[in-house]
Amino acid sequence: MTNSESPEKVARLIDANLNRLKEGIRVIEDINRYLYDDASLTSQLKSLRHRLQTLYSQERLYFRDIENDVQKKSIESELKRSSIGDLVIANFSRAQESARVLEESFKLIDPILSETAKEVRYGLYGIEKEFFLKHAAKEV
């Protein structure tokens, strides 16, 4: 295993993507809760977010390195959103991409956790479709 593949680096990768995934789901969850009053989608998203608890390990916090993150500054496109729909699209994408990174990363240490990440990713695909079919007629 090379330095870039060290258990510490993999732990950092997992920690960052778990945070990003949970944050993305929370944004979508709160939009459904507070803007659309959609109990069903809110509940589905909350359930997915809580499912992520099985992927957490406090030990990974030791490898969190915010100070040296080479991409912690936002790029211009991340600073502009023109509608709630833009927020939803950006956060579904963020969450799905993070779930995929987790799915692949966990294959290195625990295939069962990899499957959980995969199930969350597919859950997000389904909820995304349901959201846009349900709210496409509204100003998304």
User: How much is the pTM?
Assistant: 0.87
3-class SS at 74?
coil
Closest alpha carbon to 102 in 125, 78, 120, 88: 120
| 108-134 pLDDT tens trace | 999 999 999 999 999 999 999 999 999
- The answer to whether residue 58 sits within a structural domain is yes
- The answer to whether residue 49 sits within a structural domain is yes
- The answer to whether residue 25 sits within a structural domain is yes
Q: Which domain holds residue 10?
A: 3-62+80-135
The phi and psi torsions of 106 (rounded to 5 degrees) equal -65, -20
Closest alpha carbon to 92 in 104, 84, 102: 84
- The answer to whether residue 67 sits within a structural domain is no
pLDDT of residue 66: 73
| Residues present in the chain in total | 140
- The answer to whether residue 69 sits within a structural domain is no
pLDDT of residue 73: 64
| 47-82 pLDDT tens trace | 999 999 999 988 988 887 777 776 666 656 656 768
pLDDT of residue 61: 85
> Domain total for the chain?
1
Matching residue, tokens 């240490």: 109
- The answer to whether residue 27 sits within a structural domain is yes
